[in-house]
Amino acid sequence: MLHAYIIQPRKEVISAFMELGYRVTQILESPRFTQEAFHEKCDSIVVSNIGNPFELVDAICHRDPNVNGTNSICIGLGDLSSLVASVVNELLGVDKTTFTSLSTLFVLKNKPLLRSLLSSSLPQYSGYFRVVYSIDEIKDALRKVRGGLVVKPFDGSGSLGVFRLLSEDDIMKNLARFSFPALAEELFSGSEFSVEVMTIDGQHQPLAVTQKVLGGESEVVEVGQIQPANIDEATRIRLIEATTSLLDAIHFHFGLSHTEIIFDVDTPKIVESHGRVGGDRIADLMRFTTGHDAFERLAFAILKRQFLPIEPIASSSRIDFVNLMDYRGSDQEWKEELLSHPNVYSAEVIKPAGDRGPIWCSADRHAFVLSVFGRDVT
């Protein structure tokens, strides 16, 4: 029986692995993050510094002195946790064909490195970029492009610290919000998508193409995800080709990946990519549009070295993040009102009323509604 050590898992992740017969241990930063329902489903819990793979290996070995690379695997499903899990698996001697390598994950996490790789190996999917260290360098970069710039941190996520700049006035408005060094990229115009892929032994299974809805104060925060994207087959194929070309270029041989692409003037341009499933409950949308969520697919691939088939059980699904600043009822009233609609599968408040404010990044969003179409969700 394979033992999965999963870093900060959602309960859906635990369920996916346990249903396939894995023993499951949760890796938690602190016992206070543990929910009682998780206790009942897991073999055990290890509390450790999840940012330090060496401390984590020590904690795992202290709990189970017989742990080794043939009977165990560490799973991380976030940007940082996937890096940590990769190092843990190396230290434990886990089969390197069953997890994503540290070098591959690092290229994906470090945006300037990824931009350099795209520029040299796949220039058709890239655009102008430079690392900037000052306001003057942002202004200089802005003068070199036609449509504007996007300025972002080297390794951020969730739209945190991302700014769209169309003029020097935009630079001055956000003067106090920049941090350096940063990455300045050409602003692409067009619809934005993400492509979810499962890879085994370098063979790629495209799972879903999702269409993004952007908004928030910066107009770059993701406030909605629609799956499958409302596009023609030719566009879908080109998005997948761009994604798999990138995965091949970075030697992505195993695992889930999430690649964000803007279709700019009839040309796919890669924005960024991650060695994990997409956030914003994209994994949950996939349960309806592909027949299995991303966690089930990963657990099956590790155990069986095979792809699960794509068997949609709904015509489409979507998630919408809702701004509740102007809502006058209670959170419970809002939730009950949404759940009365036949297509609404779930509705959750993320931020309590006293903590709500302008939406500058994904962490600022107030609530979400997940809807499913083309099936009975009762």
Per the CB < 8 A criterion, the answer to whether 119 and 131 are in contact is no
pLDDT at 153 (0 to 100)? 87
Q: Tokens representing 256?
A: 């889930």
Q: Tokens representing 162?
A: 């991302």
Domains detected in the chain = 3-99 (3.40.50.20), 128-186 (3.30.1490.20), 192-373 (3.30.470.20)
Q: Which residues pair with 194 in a beta bridge?
A: 210, 260
pLDDT at 33 (0 to 100)? 60
pLDDT at 121 (0 to 100)? 96
DSSP track, 30-63: -GGG--HHHHHH-SEEEE--TT-HHHHHHHHHHH
Question: Distance of CA 43 to CAs 84, 88, 156, Å?
Answer: 21, 19, 33
pTM comes to 0.92
Total count of residues recorded for the chain: 378
3 state SS of 272 = strand
Low-confidence ranges of the chain (pLDDT < 50): 36-37, 377-378
pLDDT at 146 (0 to 100)? 87
Angle between helices 102-109 and 111-121 in degrees, nearest 10: 100
pLDDT at 175 (0 to 100)? 83
Phi-psi region of 202 (alpha: psi -120 to 50; beta: other; left: phi over 0): left
3 state SS of 246 = helix
pLDDT at 378 (0 to 100)? 47
- The Cα–Cα gap between 235 and 158 comes to 26
- The Cα–Cα gap between 196 and 285 comes to 11
